[in-house]
């Protein structure tokens, strides 16, 4: 397998965790390079469901190494909870996990600021996961962040934390939020540091040694293209580069060592949180929710759903350099008799082929649809492409054609076995 970046081609929750789990057989190391515990990646193995937030999805496979790279923002207390949760379920977490010493920390004041700023925005809120992701990346860029290398040195950490608490308490109070107790935070974080210390290392050096010895890397993107801080529907985005380039900066692996970019997309569209979603549709949202599908893996919020948006995926293919695509959740459309696909937008009387940058303009876009006949048959038992009903095959081939990339994986259920390789 060439070193592969797996990126979400829509608004997150495309089924990246499931596809990573499927591909991990062929990789040696799974790397997270951006985002934090705002991510929720679901993997179903033997009827058991796991939702991973910070730990790469490769952790569930014995003999695979998982790396949390420098570009990730880590809430140490939450990470310890995740490690303990996995161990309780019999998943080994030890020498198979490495954490970058350069990764930035999420601190309680980040979460408090995230929540308070969202509350102050009222109707104009982003709809964040309230995990403190935006404020943590903000501190990183402002060069006032604390990192894993600080956390593992109690003396350094306590000094730096005290300075940050002082400033953040002034800000929190000015925003009408209660001040935080620095002592309690220090205690919790030093306890987490004791658990995490053995995992912390220079992951850039580790990854380069691994590359030299011929190991294969699989980059597990978090979020999706339209949540990217540069390329997404700003300001309704997350605070990291979710597109393929983020995998390189967030891990220290240079672009020329990447051999393939795999874009993951659902057979329809979903979004959780606020912001424009041109192909949103109440009918399909209600139908999917009635099936018990499309509730957030991190926050439990109902996801907004719509028809497949080829304007968006075409753009995603361009920005990420997608060579291959995996289409997931095809089975979600099994009972839909007429399926719509958005092939262009109509904006102020003009037909456009690419999403406009301004979120106001994107919100004014109305989709231009084509309609395809449904297959009205269950697909979840298909194991080969030829097992799929002809109309389902036509549908996924159409989506790949409109996106402009080669279709290599189709997923028809949450389990490993429900994955078809073309």
Catalytic residue among 13, 150, 228, 309: 13
The DSSP annotation for 309-326 comes to EHHHHHHHHHHHT--EEE
The DSSP annotation for 123-142 comes to GG-----SSSHHHHHHHHHT
Choose among 221, 311, 292: nearest CA to 263. 221
Task: Provide the token pair at 288.
Answer: 């999917």
Chain residue whose CB lies nearest ligand IMO: 273
Q: What, of Mg ion, ligand GDP, ligand IMO, none, does residue 331 touch, CB below 5 to 8 Å by kind?
A: ligand GDP
Kindly state the smallest distance separating residue 80's Cβ from ligand IMO, in Å: 20
Count of CB atoms situated within 10 Å of the CB of 30: 26
Catalytic residue among 21, 41, 150, 331: 41
Kindly state the smallest distance separating residue 358's Cβ from Mg ion, in Å: 27
Tell me, yes or no, if 13 is annotated catalytic. Answer: yes
Give Cα separations from 421 to 382, 387, 403, 408, 410 (angstroms): 11, 12, 18, 6, 7
326 - beta bridge partners?
264, 409
Binding site for ligand GDP (CB under 6 A): 8, 12-18, 40-42, 44, 297, 328-329, 331, 411-414
35 binds Mg ion (CB under 5 A): no
7 binds ligand IMO (CB under 6 A): no
Q: Binders of Mg ion among 252-311, rule CB under 5 A?
A: 297
Tell me, yes or no, if 41 is annotated catalytic. Answer: yes
Kindly state the smallest distance separating residue 389's Cβ from ligand IMO, in Å: 29
Kindly state the smallest distance separating residue 12's Cβ from ligand GDP, in Å: 6
Task: Provide the token pair at 92.
Answer: 């080994």
Choose among 301, 318, 331: nearest CA to 405. 318
Choose among 356, 370, 395: nearest CA to 278. 356
Q: What, of Mg ion, ligand IMO, ligand GDP, none, does residue 413 touch, CB below 5 to 8 Å by kind?
A: ligand GDP
**Positions in the binding site for Mg ion (CB under 5 A):** 13, 40, 297
* Catalytic residue positions, numbered: 13, 41
**Positions in the binding site for ligand IMO (CB under 6 A):** 8, 12-13, 38-41, 126-129, 131, 133-134, 222-224, 227, 238-239, 272-273, 297
């Amino acid at each position: 397998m060439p070193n592969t970046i797996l990126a979400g081609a829509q608004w997150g929750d495309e089924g990246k965790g499931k596809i990573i789990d499927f591909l991990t057989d062929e990789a040696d190391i799974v790397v997270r390079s951006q985002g934090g515990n705002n991510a929720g990646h679901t993997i179903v193995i033997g009827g058991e469901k796991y939702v991973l937030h910070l730990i790469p999805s490769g952790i569930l496979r014995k003999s695979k190494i998982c790396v949390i790279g420098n570009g990730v923002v880590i809430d140490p207390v939450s990470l310890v909870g995740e490690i303990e949760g996995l161990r309780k379920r019999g998943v080994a977490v030890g020498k198979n996990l490495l954490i970058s010493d350069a990764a930035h920390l999420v601190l309680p004041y980040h979460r408090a600021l995230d929540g308070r700023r969202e509350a102050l925005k009222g109707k104009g809120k982003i709809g964040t996961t309230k995990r403190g992701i935006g404020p943590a990346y903000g501190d990183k860029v402002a060069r006032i962040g604390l990192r894993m290398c600080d956390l593992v040195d109690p003396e350094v950490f306590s000094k730096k934390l005290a300075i940050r608490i002082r400033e953040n308490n002034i800000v929190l109070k000015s925003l009408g939020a209660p001040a935080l107790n620095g002592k309690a935070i220090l205690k919790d974080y030093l306890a987490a540091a004791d658990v995490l210390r053995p995992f912390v290392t220079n992951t850039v050096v580790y990854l380069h040694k691994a590359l030299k010895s011929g190991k294969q890397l699989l980059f597990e993107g978090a979020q999706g293209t339209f949540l990217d801080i540069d390329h997404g529907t700003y300001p309704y985005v997350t605070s990291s580069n979710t597109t393929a380039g983020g995998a390189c900066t967030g891990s220290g692996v240079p672009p020329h060592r990447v051999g393939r970019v795999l874009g993951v997309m659902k057979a329809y569209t979903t979004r959780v949180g606020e912001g424009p979603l041109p192909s949103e549709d109440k009918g399909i949202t209600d139908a999917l929710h009635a099936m018990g599908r499309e509730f957030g893996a991190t926050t439990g919020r109902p996801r907004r759903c719509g028809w497949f948006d080829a304007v968006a995926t075409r753009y995603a293919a361009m920005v990420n350099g997608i060579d291959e695509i995996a289409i997931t959740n095809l089975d979600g459309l099994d009972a839909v008799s007429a399926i719509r696909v958005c092939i262009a937008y109509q904006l102020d009387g003009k037909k456009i082929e690419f999403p406009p940058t301004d979120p106001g303009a994107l919100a004014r876009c109305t989709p231009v649809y084509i309609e395809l006949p449904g297959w009205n048959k269950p697909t979840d038992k298909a194991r080969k492409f030829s097992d799929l009903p002809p109309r389902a095959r036509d549908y996924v081939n159409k989506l790949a054609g409109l996106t402009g990339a080669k279709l290599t994986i189709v997923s028809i259920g949450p389990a490993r076995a429900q994955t078809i390789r073309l």
